[in-house]
Structure 1
Amino acid sequence: MGARGELFTTQIYLENRSYFFNVKENRTGDVFLQIVESKNRDGVEADRHQIAIFAEDMQKFLQGLEKSLDYVEKDRKQRQKAAKEKRAEKDAKYGAGKKVYRVKSEKGEKAEKRADDGIKRTGKVIHIVSKKSTDNE
């Protein structure tokens, strides 16, 4: 038995996270899996989270994990299919490989559609024009 009851350890290193899968035995002889996630920030180990799954619960845990992975895979395929259909629809409408650009409407059309709301719109900046009350009101 290794240090702190470790029977087996494996590690996975990702970009800014590390995962440790430790099979351990406690003082009473119970075997469990400890999963530790360690997040690195600015070269310093900042966050560390862990969960423990006991041997009698591992099959249920794996079933839940497999269901989750199946859902993720199914969702990924659906998203790919939807994106492919959207791309095919766009290609059918505008022609394959062509880029579609939005055409700005004429100033007259915009002015007719929009009621005077006291906002002066010039490009990307919106200017609020205050309405001065007249003596007649």
Structure 2
Amino acid sequence: MGIRGELFTTQVTLDNRSYFFNVKENRAGDVFLQIVESKKGEGADFDRHQIAIFAEDMQRVLKGLDDSLKFIEKDRKERAKAKAAKKAAKEAKFGKGSGEKIVIKRGKKNFLEEERQPDGIKRTGKVIHIASKRDADKPADDGAN
């Protein structure tokens, strides 16, 4: 037995924190799992948080952990499926495009007033602004309310 009743210990190190899984025995002979999270705090200090799970409660805790992991995996799959369906619906509505804006530059002709042609193109100066497919169904706004 170790100095502080440690029977077994293992460490999992991530980018900014470490987890220690310590199997310990207290003075009464009870075996428990101590989980310690350690992360670097301000300066040279470390923030440490720990929980202890006794052997008689371990199966219920592991079942709760397993249920949580199953939920996370199911939720991840549902979100990926919903994201794919949303993308497919968007492509069906607007067509599959490159997603880039197209800017067409015109000559040096000076426009004092905004011109709107029947083709849906708003001409305001050197750059031609092309109306989106979403705006195509709306009537042209002439500024009068």
Per-residue displacement from partner, 1:6-57 (whole Å, max 9, x unpaired)?
A: 0000111111111000000001110000000111135634311000000000
% identical equivalent positions: 62
TM superposition shift of 1:96:
2.1
Which whole-Å CA distance do the structure 2 matches of 1:43 and 1:72 have between them? 35
- In the alignment, what sits opposite 2:66? 66
- In the alignment, what sits opposite 2:92? 92
List aligned pairs for 1:57-136, cutoff 5 A: 57-99=57-99, 108-109=142-143, 112=145
| Aligned Cα root-mean-square deviation (Å) | 2.5
Per-residue displacement from partner, 1:58-96 (whole Å, max 9, x unpaired)?
A: 000000000010111111111100000011111111222
Aligned pair 1:56/2:56, yes or no? yes
Which whole-Å CA distance do the structure 1 matches of 2:131 and 2:7 have between them? 66
Structure with more helix by fraction: 1
Which whole-Å CA distance do the structure 2 matches of 1:19 and 1:59 have between them? 21
SS at match of 2:29: coil
Q: Which amino acid aligns with 1:21?
A: F
TM superposition score normalised by structure 1? 0.71
Aligned pair 1:31/2:36, yes or no? no
Q: State the number of aligned residues.
A: 111
Q: Which runs of 5+ in 2 are unaligned?
A: 102-129
Which whole-Å CA distance do the structure 2 matches of 1:43 and 1:75 have between them? 38
Which whole-Å CA distance do the structure 1 matches of 2:19 and 2:74 have between them? 25
Which whole-Å CA distance do the structure 1 matches of 2:44 and 2:131 have between them? 50
Which whole-Å CA distance do the structure 2 matches of 1:42 and 1:103 have between them? 52
SS at match of 1:88: helix
Q: Which one is further off, 91-100 or 51-60?
A: 91-100
TM superposition score normalised by structure 2? 0.67
Check 1:63–1:98 CA distance in 2 against 1; reply closer, same or farther (3 A cut): same
